[in-house]
Structure 1
């Protein structure tokens, strides 16, 4: 018996191979029918497998963080199943009394199974080795054993090779080479295994260390890119993601290939890990294995992505408790990310040790930047990397813990991993030696934060070394802190550092095509330090149990003076943090055509400088949320709000009267269309003054063409892709009648459309003219002819009452079913002060099929006229805003009416609304 499983207590409680072997012998004695024998064997082993898994799960629940024991127990269980099935196959199904030299079989475990680490539903990677080309008997035995394992419900990754074929495959394929590196004897002919292992060492491993290391590191980098290239994604892949188990495995494979070690512990003797790093490796591996085992058990299958729906359950299984301001699932995920960070730290120092062993004298094995910097203030260069002259260099002057990063930024240098390790070890000196109070340290930090070069990279290094969180303790509190929702893709610290990187990219004109306005503005702001400090601090108070904007603004008043910002700069940073969500909330949830929206926004902003800073902060905040969150429609809305507010702040709101604005819009629209005066006047007079104020010129032009084409038709629908807005403009001209809006919305949803904005108008001759901005489920315009035809047909069918809307809408699943892991309590806010003409209703609810249709139907039931609707989604949360009046065009301000409307909307938002109209 291998010593691999010596750490397992009461192994026979998991599976008793001796007792099962006796029972299998008895089965063979009960019948000579090989079919009955095989079925009886499978039934017995299936029961043993189920009981073994149940016992392992019981142990895991009793000790929920003991991942290594659970993974080891599973490998032990599979070993016994494989051995029993093999013995029964060769003894009772295909016995051969006089085997030739070629009729020998060795069963080897490879990959994770070979390492002795298996989650409950991991693939069983097994190899069948024969001395030469397979004989008919070895083929029968291998095939029979594979069928047995498949019948047991096991997923088997297998190979059947001769020793020569194994060596040839290992030389040709990196994946095979890596799997065989961890090959372990399971059962069969031991001499044949020893022969194969010796040949693998001599013919595959010897002399090929450098090539293997380079290949594995390249493979790792490709894997990281596929997985998002960050260890701080909020739904990480426990096995393949950055900072996951595969990264630890890669380190072990490299060490094993170079030094032929058998265990991770032997890497210490090989000089690739220190004792402290070994403990770090074992803690991270144990935790990640535990998470993976819980994940497999809950999923009932091989599942490695830690999605939201599993995070909450695993946090409960691993006995995490709630804390003030932080849910149990957030505490669990914070620990997960801290371990992922630990894996990254280990990788850096491991590769530094590796560099020392593999590189020629005075050179590096791994590539680096070549620089010749000026003064290094006592720091030294080690083969192109910034290094320490001695281990006590930080201790002699702890301000150097900040200075090393400032020098790395200034000179474009990498930091030696050994220096990073020493920085992590000495980071506590920042607290004990009062570094935060020293002006030089704060000036150096501010230099890094506001660097015109690459602040994102250097701040990430600083965060990896734990120096960032020590120097700015409030930032330290959000390190590895996740936000348990579907909107945010990264942890708070990663989001913040990415936002700073985006700000630098905008300033350096690297994102001019995506953000032309922000790029221009960054060259106009009076204080670069203000905007960089605001981005740093905007989310710093998350997880404290209150409004993070308010708490963050208070923190800014304390942190900014320490960093060296003046009183006016500090006040501006505090204001920006307090209002960093104002611009996006106004642009995405309010009607920008309602002038009071602009006036209210401008009254809070008060100055053009604040407006400029707020726009840039809003842009980088949204874009740093994650891929796909920023789009051209959001850019359009923010630009529209900025332009309108900038005009108010610069000139005041009375410089352009309503008549002048309407006349200007008409002139621009006529010029765009190139219509004659008579033709244009005939079309224009059908539209009320409110229409000309509400719509942008491009939409007005599209509407007038549509009205012209419609003629006297009672219904006319058009769909025009709008690349600038990243959506399709759907125009509906129809006879106005109650319920028109909710039916149109239902039709658009049935065609797969996602409505992001809607404006409702009534022409002077009594027709409804409604404009919808619609995207497909992936956030793109409908631009193919077939898509547009389907969209138009669905609206026509809905308006004609040809189909029952609600059942069909509710049958449509959300694009991401993991939204069911969240519960958003519905809220309805009815505001009569936000607009001079309309009552503004904002509904917050969990996103789901038919939500907008049901809310629109509730408004219809309440005898409310919808004038515009604005739809925003934040992951699982939908925020729908309606500008409404009663049927006479007045605000809804009676207390009883308001209460009734609120109740009806809450009911629509809170349920699937089975009672809502089905037609």
Structure 2
């Protein structure tokens, strides 16, 4: 490892150890050990800080030299440790005649042992003694540790005899791995050589197969913890899939099983080609550059590329904006491409390990095949994996590059990693002739719309580079991130996951989560229309313009090439163009307003399109990331689907609004069992809109709550009850109506730790308000614990009684998600008087923040309007709040001056400081 440091340019500019040693040697004898150590600390600290500043300066000048910076930090640490060691044993605890037991060697282990560090990396060091520690070695080790801590070095240390080292390495995989990378730093060289020989003989010898098995299992567990995808948009560049730890695992296995001492030796052992070695080194260099910059920017040992840090990293690494892609998106796309390269290298490397360690006819660490297909069109089986018979097999017929994956899907086979390597090498053979080949396109559609496991096979195709080469428009979104807090994956990963979810729904595996989609998928006329539309729905992301419109144009071009009919092409293009309309309508509009349903049905036009659109919408939302799909969204989409399906099925033969109200009132009377005169007086209290907006279950709960409150003479009644089917909690407030009621309720609900996702606000003809508000906790779950619901009711009661200054309490509440500050979102207000026959519809887009709804509803109070319903949707850092309002007389707001004032007030309220203005 010394040769690595030898290659560092101008090492003396990083630290001049001789000059620092002279300064330490010239320290006068003063006081005891502690005083001497305290006197040395400023000299060492100055040298450490100067060295770090020099490394940071070099990295700023050449931001892509990652491995050089990592080596420089390790070199600097080496020199500081050597200086501390020499000062400790020569000045603090000198020995004139040391015994054989009074020997000590310092061994760098783990990443530090590899000679790779970032600014805030741990200094992992082992203090080794020949036998049990003597009082001298204990004093030296303790004093050195104090010196490390005085310099604020984060030290991971162990103190062991040689026997203890061997025993613990045998019993603990983590210790064994750390010692595997052991590197001599300073101290007794003979003792270090003895330790190295013992480790090879007593620990490594004869245990290579076990080590490989354990390391691969450890790697798989780590991937699952980190999201099991290298395309998570806030990746962990050390532990995540495709990160530095995967490269380290390859080297560990190579070092343990093949006794290599450096990465280039993997080529000599036949484990990597020279081209693959260059790819390894490029990926390693890039990842280390990112990690070193990340530590400097974060000012701590940060390994996760969070949204708030990504823009600064992109700037430091000199990425620039390009049409359709920001600098940060280009930087992250480069990161994901490097992570993909790490994955490719891992697969190739493990194939060689498989060949070396597996018994004849068997595969190392993997299950045996249960069936053996015979018709493989020239491909062969290699221990159960699909392989090619000759190295020029793809060159003979490039269509085989598509056929490889179709056969893997058809027969449920894995592809041999060396064949994947060849596919990646020969991907350039896919030209326009192959793309237009009818057989190739038919094979591709077979995979895309497979009834087996299309997600896995498409991911393999993407990993090999075949997918993006065969469908160049898809190639443009490979590894492309969307710089927001809503989307968890890159565009290509999101699309492939959505296809996999559709396949699982079709098999009935997600019936509980998606009951409607699980039924109607089998009523769809053209399955391939559905699967192609899922593939293409985000195909135009990253281009200038609306990706839905541009994507429809891509679909019109691609579908005929795939062999689809004109009718299928038209349907796919429509689905791509309008793939957001169902989620937007369900989440942002009042579904009890019949014009919402009519407008949506008019756009959809046919039951088949509606079925296709629901399936596409479901998987599009769920494939965004974990936790995005929930029961509330399922209910909203289901309600919209059923209402629109009724319109499309019956055409204009709809039951009239008055008839529907009468039917609901009759059903409610039957449930309540009230006398006719009491029921008549009760129904007369409410406007027609109340009966349309609420379900029969909610109408019954409201009636019983109101009757009990009126019977007891209460002017305020609050009930909170979980709704298991919707995954939310319904809070019903019955109170005397007065201006500003809703904004006070919204503020109280926020202070109680809940969030409003839907609100239906009604006023009786005798001046009472009955508000049905749907809330969830910050994690999208029902607010369902008894003490939490009680706290919620008390907070609302206090707010309505004006018992405390709500504005002060809201201002004091800390921000929940400061990462959102990384995104520049300009507030936008859209006012629509055509979306509803009865209400003015106001949509506010703004950065999500605590108490935003409180601020917006307070602005509406200031504008002297009445809120009839509110619908809240969040997309990561972006909030979309929609209000159905009228003026105080119950009419739409038509005056342009009032609309301008309304827009100004809402824009002001959407600002970050607006919560303090609400009284």
Superposed pair shares fold, TM > 0.5:
yes
Superposed CA offset, 1:465-489 (max 9, x none): 0000000000000000000000000
Name 1:596's counterpart in structure 2: 595
Name 1:728's counterpart in structure 2: 729
CA shift for structure 1 position 904: 1.1
CA shift for structure 1 position 48: 0.9
Superposed CA offset, 1:259-301 (max 9, x none): 1111011111112111111111111111001111111111111
Structure-1 separation of matches of 2:256 and 2:671: 70
Structure-2 separation of matches of 1:277 and 1:684: 77
Change in Cα spacing, 1:206 to 1:684, as seen in structure 2 (3 Å) is same
CA shift for structure 1 position 675: 5.3
Between stretches 472-481 and 92-101, larger displacement belongs to 92-101
SS in 2 for 1:526: coil
Counterpart check, 1:12 vs 2:22: no
SS in 1 for 2:64: coil
Change in Cα spacing, 1:216 to 1:670, as seen in structure 2 (3 Å) is farther
Name 2:356's counterpart in structure 1: 357
Instruction: Note the aligned Cα RMSD (angstroms).
Output: 1.2
SS in 2 for 1:869: strand
Name 2:754's counterpart in structure 1: 753
CA shift for structure 1 position 768: 0.6
Structure-2 separation of matches of 1:576 and 1:813: 42
Superposed CA offset, 1:154-183 (max 9, x none): 111000000000000000000000000000
CA shift for structure 1 position 338: 0.2
Name 2:806's counterpart in structure 1: 805
Contact 2:430 2:469 in 1 (8 A): yes
Contact 1:89 1:145 in 2 (8 A): yes
Name 2:495's counterpart in structure 1: 496
Contact 2:748 2:795 in 1 (8 A): yes
Superposed CA offset, 1:300-353 (max 9, x none): 110101000110000000000000000000000000000000010001000011
Structure-1 separation of matches of 2:176 and 2:398: 46
Name 1:907's counterpart in structure 2: 908
Structure-1 separation of matches of 2:558 and 2:636: 33
Structure-1 separation of matches of 2:891 and 2:219: 64
SS in 2 for 1:97: coil
Contact 2:672 2:700 in 1 (8 A): yes
TM-score, normalising length: structure 1: 0.98
SS in 1 for 2:914: coil
Name 2:780's counterpart in structure 1: 779
Structure-2 separation of matches of 1:633 and 1:3: 61
Name 2:429's counterpart in structure 1: 429
CA shift for structure 1 position 684: 3.3
SS in 1 for 2:890: coil
Contact 1:325 1:544 in 2 (8 A): yes
Superposed CA offset, 1:369-399 (max 9, x none): 5030130000000010000101100000000
Contact 2:226 2:239 in 1 (8 A): yes
Contact 1:615 1:642 in 2 (8 A): yes
Structure-2 separation of matches of 1:672 and 1:344: 61
SS in 2 for 1:523: helix
Between stretches 613-622 and 697-706, larger displacement belongs to 697-706
CA shift for structure 1 position 604: 0.4
SS in 2 for 1:120: coil
Counterpart check, 1:87 vs 2:86: yes
Counterpart check, 1:625 vs 2:624: yes
CA shift for structure 1 position 200: 0.3
Name 1:151's counterpart in structure 2: 150
Structure-1 separation of matches of 2:877 and 2:73: 37
CA shift for structure 1 position 727: 0.8
Name 1:415's counterpart in structure 2: 415
The aligned runs of 1:1-40 (5 Å cut-off) are 2-27=2-27, 29-31=28-30, 33-40=32-39
SS in 1 for 2:34: helix
Structure-2 separation of matches of 1:35 and 1:556: 75
Between stretches 586-595 and 803-812, larger displacement belongs to 803-812
Structure-1 separation of matches of 2:363 and 2:618: 41
Name 1:483's counterpart in structure 2: 482
Structure-1 separation of matches of 2:381 and 2:816: 52
CA shift for structure 1 position 654: 4.4
Name 1:854's counterpart in structure 2: 855
Change in Cα spacing, 1:683 to 1:129, as seen in structure 2 (3 Å) is same
Name 1:231's counterpart in structure 2: 230
CA shift for structure 1 position 763: 1.3
Structure-2 separation of matches of 1:519 and 1:665: 30
Matched pairs, number: 916
Structure-2 separation of matches of 1:637 and 1:687: 25
Name 2:47's counterpart in structure 1: 48
Name 1:827's counterpart in structure 2: 828
Name 1:508's counterpart in structure 2: 507
SS in 2 for 1:881: strand
CA shift for structure 1 position 34: 2.7
SS in 1 for 2:309: helix
Between stretches 702-711 and 471-480, larger displacement belongs to 702-711
Listed as ranges, the gaps of 5+ residues in structure 1 are: none
Structure-2 separation of matches of 1:438 and 1:623: 34
The aligned runs of 1:540-579 (5 Å cut-off) are 540-579=539-578
Contact 1:810 1:849 in 2 (8 A): no
SS in 1 for 2:774: strand
The aligned runs of 1:177-216 (5 Å cut-off) are 177-216=176-215
The aligned runs of 1:292-691 (5 Å cut-off) are 292-370=291-369, 371-431=371-431, 434-673=433-672, 680-691=679-690
Structure-2 separation of matches of 1:136 and 1:405: 66
Structure-2 separation of matches of 1:5 and 1:788: 62
Superposed CA offset, 1:754-795 (max 9, x none): 000001101122101111101111111111111011100111
Between stretches 663-672 and 162-171, larger displacement belongs to 663-672
Structure-1 separation of matches of 2:698 and 2:153: 60
Structure-2 separation of matches of 1:197 and 1:476: 49
Between stretches 265-274 and 310-319, larger displacement belongs to 265-274
Name 1:219's counterpart in structure 2: 218
Contact 1:368 1:384 in 2 (8 A): no
Name 2:135's counterpart in structure 1: 136
Name 1:876's counterpart in structure 2: 877
Structure-1 separation of matches of 2:671 and 2:345: 62
Name 1:717's counterpart in structure 2: 718
Superposed CA offset, 1:628-651 (max 9, x none): 000000000001001111111111
Contact 2:811 2:916 in 1 (8 A): no
CA shift for structure 1 position 809: 1.6
Structure-2 separation of matches of 1:323 and 1:868: 42
Structure-1 separation of matches of 2:618 and 2:705: 34
CA shift for structure 1 position 570: 0.5
SS in 2 for 1:867: strand
Superposed CA offset, 1:485-530 (max 9, x none): 0000000000000000000001111100000100101000010010
Contact 2:746 2:853 in 1 (8 A): yes
SS in 2 for 1:406: helix
Structure-1 separation of matches of 2:393 and 2:490: 33
The aligned runs of 1:53-68 (5 Å cut-off) are 53-68=52-67
Change in Cα spacing, 1:680 to 1:94, as seen in structure 2 (3 Å) is farther
Change in Cα spacing, 1:607 to 1:51, as seen in structure 2 (3 Å) is same
Between stretches 800-809 and 531-540, larger displacement belongs to 800-809
Superposed CA offset, 1:421-471 (max 9, x none): 00001111112x620010000000000000000000000000000000000
Between stretches 810-819 and 585-594, larger displacement belongs to 810-819
Between stretches 646-655 and 86-95, larger displacement belongs to 646-655
Superposed CA offset, 1:194-247 (max 9, x none): 001001000100110000000000000000000000000000001000000000
Between stretches 167-176 and 759-768, larger displacement belongs to 759-768
Change in Cα spacing, 1:507 to 1:22, as seen in structure 2 (3 Å) is same
Structure-2 separation of matches of 1:206 and 1:243: 30
SS in 2 for 1:824: coil
CA shift for structure 1 position 133: 0.3
Structure-2 separation of matches of 1:810 and 1:377: 70
Contact 1:369 1:413 in 2 (8 A): no
Between stretches 272-281 and 832-841, larger displacement belongs to 272-281
